[in-house]
Structure 1
Amino acid sequence: MEDGAKNSAVRRIDALVRAGYKVEPCTVEALNFVHPAHREFKHARLMMLDDGLIVGGLIDDKHELRILAADEEKFSAFLRSIPRPTSWQIHRDKFYFVVAWTIGIGFWSVIVIMWKAAIDK
């Protein structure tokens, strides 16, 4: 990949992250992005291939998003269409994690208390 293409790819990655996308673990050939507005935004999942091509949408979606590396105009228009994630959408996964741990700790606390009560009889 040429230096100009690398700079363009880095600028696109930076722009997508600033727009609210998060980079997911992925394959060597591509970067996967996910937007916190999963259900509310059609292109919540994107894939950026190593040649700079950005692909979005479902596999069976006929209106799949395809933005070539050289198409800066289409990429800029896409960036303007991305909704800003709300505070809830950004922190939703952390909230679910805390709730799950709280339920788990509560469950095991009840089990231990019942077990100790059964031993003390």
Structure 2
Amino acid sequence: MLELRNIAKMVGGDYHIYPTNLTLKRGTLNVLLGPTLSGKTSLMRLMAGLDKPTEGSLIFDGADVTGKRVQDRSVAMVYQLAPQLKVENEKEKPLTVNYDELVKSWQK
């Protein structure tokens, strides 16, 4: 489980991510959806450890990993860009993936 506890990111005195609480449970499908510049990528970069939060903490399976180096987290971030698809198709795409098969293919 990944928990974001009052996670915030400020740049130049301005909030890029306002203090946010979020819990992502293992085995669930989670989608970040929002308009351009709403903070989706910034939030994912914080979760992956590519950026450090200005405030708050990241808890992974009960352990605080806020200051842990990205190399020590066993986490990856992949951008899914499909400019040829319409928004409706992009929203539906995660729902059509067979995640059991996908996980099995990663374990090979």
TM-score bucket (shorter structure)? under 0.3
Which structure has the larger Rg over C-alpha atoms? 1
Q: From the two aligned structures, give the one with the greater strand fraction.
A: 2
Normalised TM-score (structure 2): 0.24
Q: Which has the higher helix share?
A: 1
Larger relative contact order (C-alpha < 8 A, sep ≥ 6)? Answer: 2
TM-score w.r.t. the length of structure 1 is 0.22
